[in-house]
Structure 1
Amino acid sequence: MATAPDFYPPKLNQSLVRLCQMVAPWAAYLYYRIELDIDYESLNQLIALRDRRVLLLPNHPAFQDPIVMFLLSGRLGQSFHYLAAYEQFQDILGPFFQAVGAYSVRRGLADRASIAQTLDLLTQPTCHLVIFPEGGCSFQNDTVMPFRTGAVQLAFQAMNRSVKQGHPVPNLFVVPISIKYRYFQPMSMVIHQSLSRLEATLGIAKQAQNYERLRAIAEKVLTQVEQEYDICASDRERPWNDRIAALKACVLQTCERQLRLQSAPYEPDRERVYRILNAIQVRTEQEESGETEGSSNWDEELIRKSMFRILNFDTIYDGYVAADPTPERFLDTLTRLEREVFAIDHPAPKGHRIAQVKVGSSLNL
């Protein structure tokens, strides 16, 4: 069995990119049920930076965000490069992603090959590089997670490299981009159907109002997961946010202990997840190569499932829907619950959506 490479570099094929940009709006609408919407002011800001060195930093509320950024590149008639998770390149579409300008990064590690590639791209005069600074998908249309600092740090390193080579301090523009989704059509029937399916699977009696139905489903799921990890859930008066935080802490500490990793309770949960997943990968490779003996004291599949849960519910909190009960917030939460209950990584789109893109003021570093 061939060993997977440690790094997947970009292999940009301009002809393929132009062809894909021509068909992408139709494919995105039919398959992903997405249509790009960007105002003239935002578009003109990017047009003004066409021949500049640009680092594009979008938020990451959904799996379809890279598609939205590719649609944006097509609207501009340009090619972008994209920093993407290493795992995306390990299936049949990996070579295609490389051909449209994407390259890999191993999250949770100091990925030297990926860092070197990023620095190389950011020293090119007209490079447009897309990095999602949240480091992963939030799964919430109205939430932005704390940014990882790596993207801007690498931009400064690239500038410093140019200066050390005897060049003047280069212009390098950082451009924040907002992606926000809105459904085309009324979604009340879709919400009802999703609630009914979850209620039937979990054996929950139907409540009077949709929000009460959602809370009953969430309570059942939270209790089941607590029981699965032997966490006492008898005190139902505790605030949900406290229960969620305690559950995450217990799961992460247990997995770190099983893998003999130093526990890091003050780091963001997402960073701890990536470190655990990398440790699983290393340990599995060592066992397959005979470097270490397999152990019955750890369950790779259970740890992976646990990390999936942490990422799925990373930014969830009680009150997200109640604060503004839009169809988008309802379906954000229902989709997460469906991912947990039905073990579906990529649930089908709930309806056609407009991806509203707005460009913030650029900053010349």
Structure 2
Amino acid sequence: MSATTETPGFYPIRLNPFLVWFAQTLSLFATQWRYKIDLQVELEDLEQLRALKGHRRLLLPNHPTFQDPIVIFLLSAKLRQTFYYLAAYETFKGLLGRFLQSVGVYSIRRGIADRPSIAYTLDLMTQSDCCLVIFPEGGCSFQNDTVMPFRVGGVQLAFQVLSRFSRRGEDIPNFYVVPVSIKYRYTQDMTPAIQASLHQLETQLGLPGTGNHYERLRAIAKQVLVNLEKEYGLHTSQTTHQPWNDRIAILKSHVLQECEQYLSIKSTPGEPIRERVYRIQYVLQTSDELQETNIRDNQEPQSENSWTPATVQKAMFRLLNFDAIHDGYVAENPTPERFLDTLTRLEREVFAIDQPSPKGHRQARVKIGEPLNLKDFFEEYQQNRNHIINQLVANIQQTVQTNLNQLS
């Protein structure tokens, strides 16, 4: 696909059409057993996607769980089409990484401008029948009903592809951006699962477990918040009287600033937390960067916390886990899904596990939004690039959120 296919530190697609067919066929049955997920999508939505076959397509789904790529793969299986997927560099380890490359997945290093991945994406998008999937939130939100701000990168690259045609004096081709909403619904009574999770967390935290489910959930969340404040030197008699959302914001800001100071990293004002986290993680994972900043486990701490690469990595895990969380998420709509969204987050923190086991069987409900043809916006893009990109991405994000609200 270009010289970037052999670039060190980059994993390109190594498509195996037979393996794609076999995995798609198997996935329609195996995901019910392995991941306890069934895909539910309306026929008219499938037909809407089928009608775009033969054109360039960029699918932009929300990302509430780690299982979302599996759901989109199930969607490709329903259509009997091959999708391409952009995934975090860290995913490509061992046999799993080679399998992912074989079914259409390639890597990107988050936290930096990954030039090989960007060049590869542009070449991929140039192909006339390319269907590329990018999760524009940049990572899991761990929230079933809401979306985090969408990144503009996918749409930006798509317009750059159209610009290539323009510079060559060729006709501007169709390039469809498709909003995709994923929402999960448990198919059975989840009261036993909620009770079991509450009890396990209360036992681990030494809490009495009194009150109704919501009161117990808040008691667990409060204890976790207090423990984190104490660990990072922020818990005082004054903080207990502050609103939870203020305390959460202060905690996030403090941890980020401390870690960036430790790693000698500068952030841009207003930069999203997730982007700052990814940059920190990249520095930790890159030996050259570690040598340049002289980070060592036995280095003298630069703050009241004894920061080491290990404690910074743990802090980044926490920031990603709690990035989208806010007080009131469950109270606004106390569904089993919202309860278990929050309990799963708390389990990840309290038990230090990346992916807790599925709580029960779920339907993954997918809604396809109205596709936007970037060709129709290309002249405006040439006049005011940033404005058009930001406007389109905001519209796509709103479409995804609106469709989430409508999914029952």
TM range (shorter): over 0.9
* 1:112 is the counterpart of 2:115: yes
Is the contact made by 1:123 and 1:162 (CA closer than 8 Å) also made in structure 2?
Answer: no
CA distance in 2, matches of 1:285, 1:272: 16
Aligned to 2:42: 39
Q: Distance in 1 between matches of 2:236 and 2:161?
A: 51
Instruction: Give CA deviations for 1:119-164 in whole Å, capped at 9, x if unaligned.
Output: 0111111110000011111000011000111010000001111222
Corresponding residue number in structure 2 for 1:275? 279
**Over aligned residue pairs, what C-alpha RMSD do you find?**
1.6
Instruction: Tell me what 1:228 maps to.
Output: 231
Find out whether 1:142 has 2:110 as its counterpart: no
Gaps of 5+ in 1: none
| 1:102 equivalent in alignment to 2:111 | no
Bigger mean CA offset, 115-124 vs 333-342 = 115-124
Please point out which of 309, 332, 337 is paired with 2:318.
Answer: 309
Is the deviation greater in 85-94 or in 348-357? 85-94
3-state DSSP class of the match of 1:83? strand
1:66 equivalent in structure 2: 69
Contact map agreement 1:52 1:125 (CA 8 A) in 2: yes
Q: Deviations over 1:35-77 (max 9, x none)?
A: 0000112111001111211000000000000000000000000
d(CA) in 1 for partners of 2:85, 2:199: 39
**Which amino acid letter does the alignment assign opposite residue 327 of structure 1?**
P
* 2:363 counterpart of 1:340: no
Residue 316 of structure 2 aligns to which amino acid in structure 1? M
- Please, which of 245, 260, 273 is the counterpart of residue 256 of structure 1? 260
**What does the per-residue CA deviation read over 1:233-265, in whole Å, with 9 as the maximum and x for residues that have no partner?**
423121000000000000000000000111445
AA aligned opposite 1:137: C
Distance in 1 between residues matched to 2:53 and 2:339, nearest whole Å:
38
Q: Give the whole-Å Cα distance in 2 for the aligned partners of 1:301 and 1:326.
A: 36
Mapped partners of 1:129, 1:21: distance in 2: 17
Tell me the TM-score normalised to structure 1 length: 0.96
1:336 counterpart letter in structure 2? R
Kindly tell me: are residues 326 and 293 of structure 1, through their superposed partners in 2, closer, same or farther at Cα, counting changes over 3 Å?
closer
Count of matched residue positions in the alignment of Structure 1 and Structure 2: 360
More helix by share: 2
* Aligned-residue identity in percent: 59
SS at match of 2:179: strand
* 1: CA distance, partners of 2:294 / 2:255: 25
Q: Which structure 2 residue ranges, 5 or more long, are not aligned?
A: 1-6, 301-306, 375-408
Write the distance in 2 (CA, Å) between the matches of 1:340 and 1:188: 22
Aligned counterparts of 1:317 and 1:265: Cα–Cα separation in 2 = 22
Say whether residues 1:152 and 2:155 are aligned partners. Answer: yes
Segment of structure 1 superposing worse, 155-164 or 176-185: 155-164
Label 1:52 to 1:263 Cα distance change in 2 as closer, same or farther (>3 A): closer
Q: Is the 8 A contact 2:41 2:366 kept in 1?
A: yes
SS in 1 for 2:225: helix
The one of 88, 91, 101 equivalent to 1:85 is 88
Equivalent position SS for 2:241: coil
User: Residue in 1 aligned with 2:51?
Assistant: 48
* CA apart distance, 1:316: 0.2
Contact 1:223 1:233 in 2 (8 A): no
Which stretch of structure 1 is more off in the superposition, 229-238 or 339-348? 229-238
Compute the TM-score of the two structures, normalised by the length of structure 2.
0.86
Shift of residue 284, structure 1, vs aligned partner: 6.7
Paired residues of 2:56 and 2:128 also in contact (CA < 8 A): yes
8 Å CA contact 1:68, 1:355 repeated in 2: yes
Q: Provide the residue aligned with 2:369 in structure 1.
A: 360
Counterpart amino acid of residue 232 in structure 2: Y
In the alignment, structure 1 residue 171 sits paired with structure 2 residue 174:
yes
